[in-house]
């Protein structure tokens, strides 16, 4: 291949040394001259390889506590010099620049330092300057230079050098340059996020290719690291739609302190219940809609034991996620080899939510508000009973996690029906009533939650006719008094939260 370029000189300066030996061996085999800095230089020499210091090239030691090591014309000139430009070659030779054909650099662990809750001073020192500059310079000159920007790429380069007798092709160098700019972008995004920026995509070097997107004709990717959130203990590969439902399930169940079981279908809860023990919670959640539960995602906020696993096992489900499982529980679930069994290790921390729109993106804070007792406005003559109040709080959480327009019906901390995604709130209520009755629920004494205000009293009237006795809604309509007056005239209680929970 005419675009193959032999590697003759390499600059290596890395934070992580693991995996470097394989690369050093193949570079030695191909008689590549090595330059390095600090700890990397020491590592290379101890591994038995010849290496030159960057200081011997530049004539300057590492200064300012290591802040300046590679920032020098002889280093960057040797990377950026265009091999097909006579002017560049003439200048490089006159200033005695080495021609680097390979740059192997990774970056200080900024994100890891942030996650460790380190002091600001330590975090700032993990903002890489020389490394990011070397990566960008080498990637810019991919026509002549191969850039390795992560230890994850060592093995791929070794295979390439082995197949090409120590050379790389233009296509291969361009591919490594793409990966380098992804690393650079992610790194800068992480730093900007720490400083408070909301204008970037989530920072990650991870990109997992999924089987497909929402539908088989769409390509799908996950930009992130699922292993930071949960551990997959069994089952098939997680799909695009699985991830959406898992996210919905986790975000919903983390709002509850008491034992809760939620069954998610198409990002909405089709069944959910809070009980003193998980067995009762499971039975109540499943009773909410045993038809829709088929093929759903089950989320539980307590460890799952053998007894509960036996109860759940009879249902066909796609995914179950819980903080822990007994050995017997795992054996039971593993009888169906495709079941995805996830152990929740950490709740994800969402600083921003992103969504593509038009030719750009929308970004917003997550809807992380949790209703506090002092925020509740009691606006009717009749106050909710203790049981109604517990159900209203449960229902307000449930409706918050249901697609708008949404209506949720709850009784005894059990989801009787939740209908979302409707163009009319009245339609959502009518469908919720019909669904609850279809599964044998008595709505007398139940409560109703709405994700947004009632512009008219019609929903309250319909709910009252069915025996519903208490309502929670954000309020804010110019006609709030019409709904409040209806409640006062008919013995219902209503509370306002002041917080709308649209979920488009």
Active site residues: 140, 266
Name, in order, each residue with C-beta under 8 angstroms of 464's C-beta and a sequence gap of 6 or more. Answer: 486, 490, 492
Number of residues in the chain: 504
Task: Give strand pairing partners of 34.
Answer: 10
Q: Are 71 and 88 in contact (CB under 8 A)?
A: no
156 closest CA partner among 142, 173, 131: 173
Can you tell me the distance from the alpha carbon of 459 to that of 139, in angstroms, rounded to the nearest whole number?
Answer: 61
Q: Are 341 and 354 in contact (CB under 8 A)?
A: no
Q: Are 136 and 113 in contact (CB under 8 A)?
A: no
Helix or strand holding residue 284 (H, E): helix 278-288
Can you tell me the distance from the alpha carbon of 429 to that of 280, in angstroms, rounded to the nearest whole number?
Answer: 27
Task: Give strand pairing partners of 296.
Answer: 317
Residue 78 token pair: 């040797």
356-360: which pairs have CB atoms within 8 A and are 24 or more residues apart? none
Kindly report the number of other CB atoms within 10 A of residue 159's CB atom.
11
Please tell me whether the peptide bond between 231 and the residue prior to it is cis, using omega within 30 degrees of 0: no
Q: Are strands 377-378 and 493-496 parallel, antiparallel or unpaired?
A: antiparallel
End-to-end CA distance of the chain: 53
Name, in order, each residue with C-beta under 8 angstroms of 402's C-beta and a sequence gap of 6 or more. Answer: 268, 269, 408, 418, 419, 420, 451, 503
Kindly report the number of other CB atoms within 10 A of residue 353's CB atom.
12
Can you tell me the distance from the alpha carbon of 128 to that of 134, in angstroms, rounded to the nearest whole number?
Answer: 10
Three-state secondary structure readout of 103-172: EEECCCCHHHHHHCCCCHHHHHHCCCCHHHHHHHHHHHCCCCCEEECCHHHHHHHHHHHHHCCCEECHHH
Q: Are 177 and 85 in contact (CB under 8 A)?
A: no
Residue where the block lists tokens 């139940």: 446
Dihedral, 317, 323, 327, 328 alpha carbons, nearest 10? -50
Residue where the block lists tokens 């001073």: 121
SS3 274: strand
């Amino acid at each position: 291949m005419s675009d193959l370029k032999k590697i003759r000189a390499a600059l290596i300066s890395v934070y992580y040394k693991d995996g470097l030996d394989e690369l050093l061996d193949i570079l030695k085999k191909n008689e590549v001259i090595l330059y390095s800095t600090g700890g990397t230089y020491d590592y290379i020499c101890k591994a038995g390889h010849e290496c030159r210091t960057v200081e011997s090239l530049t004539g300057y030691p590492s200064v300012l506590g290591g802040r300046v090591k590679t920032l020098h014309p002889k280093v960057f000139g040797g990377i950026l010099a265009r091999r097909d430009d006579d002017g560049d070659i003439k200048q490089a030779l006159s200033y005695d620049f080495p021609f680097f054909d390979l740059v192997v650099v990774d970056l200080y662990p900024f994100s890891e330092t942030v996650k460790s809750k380190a002091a600001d001073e330590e975090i700032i020192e993990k903002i890489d300057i020389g490394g990011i500059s070397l990566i960008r310079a080498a990637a810019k000159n991919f026509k002549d230079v191969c850039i390795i920007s992560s230890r994850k790429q060592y093995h791929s380069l070794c295979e390439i050098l082995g197949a090409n007798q120590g050379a790389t092709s233009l296509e291969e160098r361009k591919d490594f340059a793409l990966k380098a700019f992804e690393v650079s972008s992610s790194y800068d995004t992480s730093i900007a996020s720490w400083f408070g920026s909301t204008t970037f995509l989530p920072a990650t070097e991870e990109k997992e290719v999924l089987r497909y997107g929402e539908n088989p004709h769409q390509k799908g990717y996950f930009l992130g690291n699922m292993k930071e959130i949960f551990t997959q203990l069994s089952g098939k590969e997680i799909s695009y739609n699985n991830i959406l439902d898992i996210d919905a399930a986790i975000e919903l169940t983390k709002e509850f302190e008491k034992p809760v079981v939620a069954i998610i279908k198409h990002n909405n809860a089709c069944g959910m219940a809070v009980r003193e023990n998980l067995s009762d919670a499971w039975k109540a959640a499943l009773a909410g809609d045993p038809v829709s539960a088929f093929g759903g995602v089950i989320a539980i906020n307590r460890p799952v034991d053998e007894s509960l696993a036996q109860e759940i096992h009879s249902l066909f489900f796609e995914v179950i996620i819980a903080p822990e499982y007994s050995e017997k529980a795992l054996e039971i679930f593993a009888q169906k080899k495709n079941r995805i069994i996830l152990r929740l290790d950490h709740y994800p921390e969402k600083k921003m939510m992103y969504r593509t729109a038009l030719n750009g993106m929308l970004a917003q804070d997550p809807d992380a508000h949790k209703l506090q007792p002092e925020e509740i406005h009691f606006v009717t003559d009749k106050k909710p009973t203790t049981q109604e109040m517990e159900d209203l709080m449960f229902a307000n959480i449930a409706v918050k996690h249901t697609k708008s327009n949404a209506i949720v019906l709850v009784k005894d901390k059990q989801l009787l029906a939740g209908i979302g995604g409707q163009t009319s709130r009245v339609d959502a209520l009518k469908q919720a009533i019909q669904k609850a009755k279809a599964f044998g629920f008595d709505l007398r004494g139940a409560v109703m939650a709405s994700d947004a205000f009632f512009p008219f009293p019609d929903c309250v009237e319909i709910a009252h006719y069915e025996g519903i006795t208490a309502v929670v809604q954000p309020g804010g309509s110019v006609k709030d008094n019409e709904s409040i007056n209806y409640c006062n005239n008919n013995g219902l209680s209503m509370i306002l939260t002041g917080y709308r929970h649209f979920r488009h």
